[in-house]
Amino acid sequence: MTVPGKIPHHRRLYEVLRKHIIEGVYMEGDLLPSENELCQLYGVTRPTVRQSLSNLANDGFISRHQGKGSIVHHLPREIGILSVSGTTSAVGDRNLKTRIIVKPVIIPWKDDFMFPLSDLEKESGCVYMERLRLLDDIPIFYDISFIANINLPRITSRKFENQSLFRILRDHYQIEIKGGEQRIKAIPASARISRFLQMKKGDPVLHLERKMETNNPGLFLYSSIFCNTEKYSIFGRF
Q: What is the pLDDT of residue 19?
A: 81
Q: What is the pLDDT of residue 85?
A: 53
Domains along the chain with CATH numbers: 9-72 (1.10.10.10), 87-227 (3.40.1410.10)
Helices (H), the chain: 9-22, 35-42, 46-58, 87-91, 119-124, 165-173, 191-196
Closest residue by Cα to residue 114 from 210, 190, 39, 42: 210
In whole angstroms, give the CA distance from residue 151 to residue 90: 27
CB count in 10 Å sphere of residue 38: 22
Contact 213, 220 (CB under 8 A): yes
Q: Please provide the size of the chain in residues.
A: 238
CB within 8 Å of 119: residues ≥ 6 apart: none
Q: How many CA atoms lie within 13 A of 224 on its CB side?
A: 10
Q: What is the pLDDT of residue 180?
A: 86
Query: What pairs with residue 182 in β-bridges?
Result: 210
Helices (H), 26-134: 35-42, 46-58, 87-91, 119-124
Q: For residue 41, what are the CA distances in angstroms to 31, 47, 49, 55, 234?
A: 15, 15, 11, 19, 34
Q: What is the pLDDT of residue 230?
A: 77
Helices (H), 61-129: 87-91, 119-124
CB within 8 Å of 165: residues ≥ 6 apart: 86, 131, 145, 221
In whole angstroms, give the CA distance from residue 183 to residue 207: 8
Q: What is the pLDDT of residue 15?
A: 85
Q: What is the pLDDT of residue 179?
A: 82
In whole angstroms, give the CA distance from residue 53 to residue 21: 12
Radius of gyration of the chain, Cα coordinates, nearest whole angstrom: 18
Tell me the per-residue pLDDT of 168-209, one tens digit each, with 9 for 90 and over: 998 899 888 888 888 999 999 999 999 999 999 999 999 999
Q: What is the pLDDT of residue 5?
A: 47
pLDDT by residue, tens only, the chain of 238 residues = 444 446 788 888 998 898 888 777 888 889 999 999 999 999 999 999 999 999 888 877 899 888 889 999 866 555 555 555 555 555 555 577 899 999 999 999 999 999 999 999 999 999 999 999 988 888 988 999 999 999 999 999 999 888 888 889 988 998 888 888 889 999 999 999 999 999 999 999 999 999 999 988 889 999 999 998 876 666 554 4
With a threshold of 0.75, does the pTM exceed it?
no
